[in-house]
Amino acid sequence: MVRSDKRCDGCWTCRIRRKKCDETRPECANCTGLQITCHYGRLKPEWLDGAEKQEAMAAKIKSQIKQQAGYRRERHHASAVAMSFASTAQGREDSEFVNLIPKHDLSSDEPRSHIDATWPNAAVTLIDDSQDSIGVDPSKHKVPETLPGFNFAYNPQLGSRPGSEILSSWGEDEMNHLMRYLDHVFPFLFPFYRTSLLDPGRGWIFQHITHSKVSFHSVIGISAYFFSVALSEKYSGREHEMCKTVVWSKLIQQADMCFDMLQQDIQELNDRGDEANLLDKVRVMESIVQFLIFETAVGRSANWDNHLSPTIALFRGILQNYDLNNSVSALVDILSKIAQRPLYALRKDHYVWDNRQECFRFFAGILLFIDTIASTSLRRPPQLLEYHPQFLTDKDDGEYIKGEAPIRLSRLVGCHNWAIRVVAEISALDVWKKENMRPGSLFETELAERARYIDQILEEGMSQLKNLYATDTVTSTKIWAYAAKIYLAVVVSGWQPMSPEVRSSVAHALRSLQTVVSSSHLRVLAWPLCVAGCMAERSQEQAFRNLFSELDRTALIGILGEALRVMESVWQNRGNMSSEMWDVEACLNILGTPVLLA
């Protein structure tokens, strides 16, 4: 941050709170520490009227402080853990430091496997806060060839205690990027993720990245890129745009390198065969899912299927030793085997999970979700559909149940399990139809019966939503349900955008989407938004565009931007669409490669 040299009376937020302001720009220390909006500027705000508007703003600020209290406690806890790990690591010898992106050829020092290891001395500083305007000299207006402190590095030797090694080498910049991810980026990517006081919170993220080079790179990379985009939006100078370009070029190199490391990890697991232990498989699977999150988050997901297939294979491998006669579910069986401590039961089948277990539950749930959404653009049924009953609870109503083992996608992506499972069933039906399509009453009868069964689940689910309070997850699930109805209609009847059923579902989905005020909530609705938008009438196109018009540039990074490009391309090709040949899969491939809107 840059300290303003001109004397003033502090930001307007501190003034209304009657607090002393240190006048740091663009955010003062008080507002940064409390995670609230820092209002500053020469002109007096309209709401500072000494009357009702000022009282309303004061109440709003007080509410923001209260809402962010949990995040502040979590950040303080993570910092304390980091310092504790670092202090225990003092005196350890530093391993050799190798630049992951050398100035010359990458072929001379290929990275080795990184299972259960993160490199020490990782000076991953994408943006050096000590420089004015991220490496830009304001007086010269010249962009440097490389960003100061931008250095991706790894240790080729596998350490026995990678967590303490990396934490002992973290400086202020690394910690800032991590905390920026915990405080801003992760809540933006997963706005519905919530835990209780008895859960490990988001502390599992901290532990996870100390055991995976790929995850460490991706977390720091996402945070730095979002930060650079936010800066380039706030300060529209050419220097900031060019700096963002530099960060992007580095991220591309970094992503390619991470992909190589993942391939080596998978090969190492294959070479070990039966000797590969469960925890190694789990960690590699989690690393690949995190890498998928990284690529979709920054809008670089063209090769995502290359990453998804081995992840699914690993997931199946993790479950291959499960005894079907076991009295506990497959999920509880895995969680008990990877536990860091004995399970503490709250009540029957409800436990206090540790970081290791919560990490697996999170990534397993995200993988099941990604697999479902991916299937809609790949002409293949969801590969993990058979595991939905074992991992996804039938009782997902958007509420959080302490210590429950089965996963509630409503707490991860904002949609109740039943709606995502319906999308998975429709995707499987679509593939079955294309593989078995033939003239004859038997085929058409079976198609109608399977579609009728899915539609019944949809109607029952939507009926139950009417009895629930209008929470964010209820609204989100309604939008998914309307998109599922559109998807089912296209699978059964072909591309018929003017059919009454489709017109009604598009209209209902659009009205519900217009009530979503959070850009992070809209982001996790990218798939249903895109499906409904592709079927929009010409008169509705601008209404769908308006959903994106007020979003900042960080919100349009990744899947929301791709959803908009898909819709625009579909709208431009209206005249070329055949009702027999065109469908949702075709829409999701219209950009040349399948898109992953998850």
**Segment 540-572, tens digit of pLDDT:** 999 999 999 888 777 888 899 999 999 999 999
pLDDT of residue 558: 87
Model confidence band, residue 106 (pLDDT cutoffs 50, 70, 90): very low
User: What percentage of the chain carries pLDDT values higher than 90?
Assistant: 35
Sign of the CA dihedral 4, 9, 10, 11? negative
Q: For residue 283, what is the enclosing H or E element?
A: helix 278-297
Distance CA 169, CA 123 (A): 8
Q: What is the pTM of this model?
A: 0.73
How would residue 61 be classed by pLDDT, with cut points 50, 70 and 90? confident
| Residue 317 scores a pLDDT above 70 | yes
Contact between residue 166 and residue 210 where contact means Cβ atoms under 8 Å apart: yes
Share of the chain above pLDDT 70, in %: 76
Q: What is the pLDDT of residue 568?
A: 95
What are the two backbone dihedrals, phi and then psi, of residue 161, each rounded to the nearest 5 degrees? -135, 75
Read off the pLDDT of each residue in 13-30 and give the average, rounded to a whole number. Answer: 84
3-state helix, strand, coil in the chain (%, to 5): 60, 5, 40
Written as one string, the DSSP assignment of 344-387 is EEEETTEEE--HHHHHHHHHHHHHHHHHHHHHHHHTS--TTGGG
Q: Average pLDDT for residues 569-578, to the nearest whole number? A: 86
Residues 6+ apart with CB under 8 A from 479: 509, 512, 513, 516, 525, 528, 529, 532
- Given a cut of 80, whether residue 428 has pLDDT beyond it is yes
Q: Is the pLDDT assigned to residue 421 strictly greater than 90?
A: yes
Q: What is the pLDDT of residues 179-196, one digit of tens each?
A: 889 899 999 999 999 887
* pLDDT surpassing 80 at residue 478: yes
Q: How far apart are CA 588 and CA 591, in angstroms?
A: 8
The amino acid at 307: H
List the domain boundaries for the chain: 2-67, 69-301, 409-587
The verdict on domain 2-67 having CATH code 2.40.128 is: no
Report phi then psi at 352, rounded to 5: -90, 110
Q: pLDDT for 297-307, tens place per residue?
A: 887 666 788 88
**Predicted confidence (pLDDT) at residue 437 exceeds the cutoff of 80:** no
Whether pLDDT at 108 is above 90: no
> Can you tell me the mean pLDDT for 308-317?
91
| 164-181 pLDDT tens trace | 455 555 667 778 888 889
The pLDDT confidence band at residue 509, using thresholds 50, 70 and 90, is very high
Nearest to 124 by CA among 80, 78, 163, 171: 171
What does the pLDDT read at residue 440? 62
